[in-house]
Amino acid sequence: MKHLFLSVAVICFFLLGNTAKAQEFGIKGGMSFTDLSNLSGNNRVTGHAGVFLNKRLDRFWSIQPEILYAGMGQRYYTINGDQRTIALDYIQIPFMFQVHPVKQFYFEFGPQLGFNVGANLKYADGDKIGIKDGYSSADVALNLGMGIDANRMLGFYVRYGIGLTDITLDDHRTRANRGVQLGASIKFPG
């Protein structure tokens, strides 16, 4: 399934890159506040960054495939009171549908596929151990968000992503990624 989704994303980028005028290439990035379902603790504050293509379909609708690097995970405390951080790193491929009720404002929604490229358990003293073998290599999520275009190039957005799949390989716990992304985007009109 992940290969199918990746293939669709690559085809969409290619098609959007070769169509006429109403498209914009851009970069985006910002802060992320993430946690895992079924784990008590505090949000992990991390970041995300990447590229996107935005294709305006008509006055109200546009589509926006993206490729992002995003940190995920959560901070928590052990029974002994020691702080730990599950630090997960993903390459995410969201495919967003945007509706523009007014010219400079939009709501967005869409599916996302993530590929786990790193997983570490971090201790408060700075030590860390690799835990990638305990986590799934792919993650499927649903994103909801909104944004505002300050001008033709600069925009700001907020997006909430909720994981739809169990990312752990341990049968005794079920955990899904969740997170809020706050960021800015810069568009380069085509």
Residue 170 has pLDDT above 90, yes or no: no
- Is residue 32 within 8 A of residue 70, CB to CB? The reply is yes
Which tokens sit at 43?
Answer: 């949000």
Q: What is the pLDDT of residues 71-118, one digit of tens each?
A: 999 999 998 889 999 999 999 999 999 999 998 999 999 999 999 999
> pTM for the whole thing?
0.85
Residue 11 has pLDDT above 90, yes or no: no
Q: What is the pLDDT of residues 53-82, one digit of tens each?
A: 999 999 999 999 999 999 999 999 998 889
Q: How far apart are alpha carbons 1 and 8 in whole angstroms?
A: 11
- For the chain, which residues make up each domain, given as ranges? 2-189
- Is residue 51 within 8 A of residue 91, CB to CB? The reply is no
Q: What is the pLDDT of residues 26-41, one digit of tens each?
A: 999 999 999 999 988 9
Architecture per CATH, domain 2-189, reads as Beta Barrel (2.40)
